[in-house]
């Protein structure tokens, strides 16, 4: 879960703290005995989201929100699982990342929001994000933010060594080799032994590692698209064309800042993150689309992003759904999440607004960086599914990809090992594996 944690660290950096409102609460407290406003409990780790909560309460005086920071990601999920198993203690509304919706669906923990009008706003969100939170006509969460992928690169290094911005992965390899021959102390990029990052690259290549239908699960971690990605990066690592430092460490941050890496394959939250950890390289970076497997294609993928879901312990699912929708659909709230908490939007009206699209950033030489990732969001490959135990999958990917980066096992073998290990784990969990 390294990616999830580091992105949450980014939220802490950009929001200056994650202040929770009180101790970990119980499930919805309900309206007052005197028929006062309904009170909902809301778990989230987004910085300063209590400002959006206050905005909602002002517009909806009949609903009060008890905001709780129940921990970042994994910590919150552990508490949520405990509450679900015990039958009490879950919040009404909870922040859940895209990749863990299936996990909590399997626990029968999430309310189908379509019963309370969620599909009325379906067409207002980026289409691929709605597919991530729905199953047919059923809706299990409202998209909040996302991480469509792109390329950040050092314009100064590219200019110095005559590199061109790669449009394909073949171009990326060619430019990496050209840079290595000119200066072996600079790598084109770093290979990230990170489940979320590598998963995004598999996604873009067309891999479909999981298909879920009830307790039936299809597992294909070593499908041709996934193996293609593994072999590609294995070759780059073997030739020394990319670095292999563990990501999201002080050493890695320094390498990004001092020019050891000429580019970073990242997501829409990456530009703000990079500006926070590589300040002395201000003005030297630019953004470009993700390289393609075939010239002329325009396919992206996603790394990161969260939703607002309603748990089945809520005594007020209709009001909880109203809050989950309003938080992410109301134009003022969505704008605050984007501008104050630096979350990349999922609401189309905000994504396509001139203010957001044309925003410039001196760290990127005045480039309109948002526009690059808006285009990426429009081209995220649809239909990608997650496992019901993505935390286990990410842990296995991180361990085995790092072993491959260290030369202990081949990259294609990693995909076979992952397929075998995850299949055995799924069977142990009671899934019928196909």
**Average pLDDT for consecutive 10-residue bins of the chain (434 residues)?**
41 37 34 70 95 97 97 93 96 98 96 98 98 97 98 98 98 98 98 97 98 93 98 98 94 95 98 94 98 97 97 98 98 96 96 96 97 98 94 96 96 97 96 93
Q: What are phi and psi of 347, to 5 degrees?
A: -80, 120
Query: Which regions of 130-284 does DSSP assign to beta strands (E)?
Result: 134-135, 138-139, 142-154, 210-213, 216-219, 263-267
Compute the radius of gyration of the chain from its Cα atoms. 22
Taken as a whole, the chain contains a residue count of 434
> What distances in angstroms separate CA 73 from CA 7, 14, 44, 164, 307, one per listed residue?
10, 17, 9, 38, 12
The CATH superfamily of 2-146+304-357 is: Periplasmic binding protein-like II (3.40.190.10)
195-205 vs 390-405: helix axis angle to the nearest 10?
90
Q: Where are the domains of the chain?
A: 2-146+304-357, 148-302+362-433
Which of 158, 160, 116, 172 has the alpha carbon at shortest distance from 140? 116
| pTM of the full structure | 0.91
SS3 429: coil
Q: What is the pLDDT of residue 25?
A: 32
- The DSSP 8-state label assigned to residue 361 in this structure reads B
Distance CA 403, CA 415 (A): 12
Residues pairing with 305 in the sheet: 146
Q: What is the pLDDT of residue 17?
A: 32
CATH architecture of 148-302+362-433: 3-Layer(aba) Sandwich (3.40)
Contact criterion met (CB below 8 Å) for 29 and 66? yes
Is-same-fold flag (2-146+304-357; 148-302+362-433)? yes
Q: What is the pLDDT of residue 35?
A: 65
Q: What is the pLDDT of residue 204?
A: 98
């Amino acid at each position: 879960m390294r990616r999830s944690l580091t992105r949450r660290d980014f939220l802490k950096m950009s929001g200056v703290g994650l202040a929770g409102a009180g101790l970990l609460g119980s499930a919805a407290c309900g309206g007052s005995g005197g028929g006062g406003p309904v009170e909902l409990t809301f778990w989230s780790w987004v910085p300063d989201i209590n400002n959006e909560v206050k905005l909602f309460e002002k517009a909806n005086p009949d609903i009060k929100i008890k905001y709780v920071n129940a921990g970042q990601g994994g910590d919150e999920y552990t508490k949520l699982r405990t509450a679900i198993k015990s039958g009490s203690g879950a919040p009404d509304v909870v922040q859940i990342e895209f990749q863990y919706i299936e996990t909590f669906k399997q626990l029968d923990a999430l309310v189908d929001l379509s019963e309370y009008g969620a599909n009325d706003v379906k067409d207002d969100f980026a289409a691929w994000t709605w597919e991530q939170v729905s199953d047919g006509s059923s809706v299990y969460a409202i998209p909040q933010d996302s991480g469509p992928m792109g390329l950040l690169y050092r314009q100064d290094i590219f200019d110095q060594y005559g590199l061109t911005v790669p449009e394909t992965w073949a171009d990326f390899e060619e430019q990496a080799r050209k840079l290595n021959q000119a200066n072996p102390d600079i790598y084109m990029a770093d290979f990230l032994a990170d489940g979320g990052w590598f998963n995004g690259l598999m996604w873009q290549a067309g891999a479909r590692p999981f298909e879920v239908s009830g307790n039936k699960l299809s597992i294909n971690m070593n499908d041709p698209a996934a193996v293609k990605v593994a072999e590609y990066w294995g070759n780059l690592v073997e030739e020394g064309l990319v670095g292999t430092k563990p990501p999201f460490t002080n050493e890695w941050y320094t390498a990004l800042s001092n020019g050891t890496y000429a580019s970073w394959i990242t997501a829409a939250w990456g530009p703000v993150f990079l500006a926070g950890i590589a300040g002395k390289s201000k003005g030297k970076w630019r953004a470009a689309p993700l390289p393609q497997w075939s010239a002329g294609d325009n396919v992206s993928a996603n790394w990161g992003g969260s939703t607002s879901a309603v748990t089945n312990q809520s005594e007020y699912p209709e009001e909880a759904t109203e809050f989950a929708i309003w938080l992410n659909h109301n134009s003022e709230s969505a704008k605050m999440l984007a501008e104050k908490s630096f979350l990349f939007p999922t609401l189309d009206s905000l994504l396509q607004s001139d203010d957001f699209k044309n925003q410039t950033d001196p760290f990127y030489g005045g480039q309109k960086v948002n526009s690059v990732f808006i285009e990426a969001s429009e081209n995220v490959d649809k239909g990608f599914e997650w496992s019901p135990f993505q935390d286990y999958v990410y842990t296995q990917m991180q361990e085995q990809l790092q072993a491959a980066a260290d030369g202990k096992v081949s990259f294609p073998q990693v995909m076979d090992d992952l397929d075998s290990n995850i299949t055995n784990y799924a069977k142990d969990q009671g899934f019928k594996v196909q």
